[in-house]
Amino acid sequence: MVSTESGSPGGFGSFADAVRRWRDRVPPEAAGLSSIGPRRAAGLRREELALLAGISADYVTRLEQGRATHPSDQVVEALARALRLSAAERAHLFRLAGLAPPGRDTVPAALTPSVHRLLDRLAGTPVAVFDAAWTLLLANPLYTALMGERPDWRGHGRNGVWWTFLGPPGRVRQSAEARRAMEAALVGDLRTTAGRYPADARLRELVAELRADSPRFAELWESGAVGHHEAARKTVDHPDVGPLALDCDILTVAGDDLRFMVYTAEPGTPDADRLTLLATTTVPALTRAP
């Protein structure tokens, strides 16, 4: 989209105006939300944008009304992905927020149209996209319904490694052995990423915080643990539909340095039935306007 007013994408005069206008152009079908209740607008509801971006609906409302005027770079990045902005539009949104767009030496966080199309085709499957440092970039509604909404995204709260070592317990049930193996693999994977992007200040801050606040992470980091977070069989204890035994596969998008986390159930099993129940009950509740 090329501006005819100021030479910048969209010609928007404010961050609030840009978010409102770009939200209106994203069809709900693009996020697998077409069946959720009667709609008064062609684009995403605020609640749907909030869910896709991993922030609260109240904060989206305050941003669009101009009452929240200093969003963090993480929030702007999350909104840019959920709004499916082009590279030029993403850079413009950062500037409207008074922030410098991320440079080339940082861990890639932009999602290409092809990645969005892949997510669209997997709307009936719990899928999340992470960057090379295991920061959650985008999750579809079914993934959020399965794993739960994370109430606090401040600081490094969107990062899966941070959540593993410093966050509260999640819904995935693990044996002590499986937990130790996953921890070692995540630390090894993060070490590889840190070596690939040594100029990324946010990644350095993440590692420093983990080393300072998690003795287990510090032990693994100092030991030189290596490995990759790979496919596994996991049991997710869901408070509404019960336990689900699922296969968790990690797919890598090499050119963009992204990781897809995909959960699937064996067809014809009670786990598949529970996953279907989750899609038809919990997902609509997450995006229903109050």
pLDDT digits (tens, 9 = 90+) for 45-75: 888 888 888 788 888 999 988 888 788 887 8
Which pLDDT score, from 0 to 100, does residue 1 have? 33
pLDDT tens, 155-174? 788 899 999 999 888 899 98
Report the candidate in 122, 120, 203, 214 with the shortest Cα–Cα distance to residue 165.
214
Helices 87-96 and 73-82: crossing angle in degrees, nearest 10, is 140
Integer angstrom CA distances of residue 96 from 41, 75, 82, 196: 25, 13, 17, 30
What's the predicted TM-score (pTM) here? 0.74
pLDDT tens-digit profile of 218-247? 999 998 876 677 778 899 999 999 999 999
Q: Would you say the C-alpha torsion 268, 270, 276, 280 has a positive or negative sign?
A: positive
Looking at per-residue pLDDT, the higher value among 38 and 185 belongs to 185
Query: Is the CATH number of domain 113-287 3.30.450.180?
Result: yes
List every span in the chain annotated with CATH 3.30.450.180.
113-287
Domain with CATH 1.10.260.40 in the chain: 9-96
Looking at CATH, the fold of the domain delimited by 9-96 is given as: 434 Repressor (Amino-terminal Domain) (1.10.260)
CA angle 264, 268, 271 (to 5 degrees): 50
What DSSP line would sit under 124-155, residue for residue? Answer: TS-EEEEETT-BEEEE-HHHHHHH---S--ST
Identify the three-state secondary structure at position 249. strand
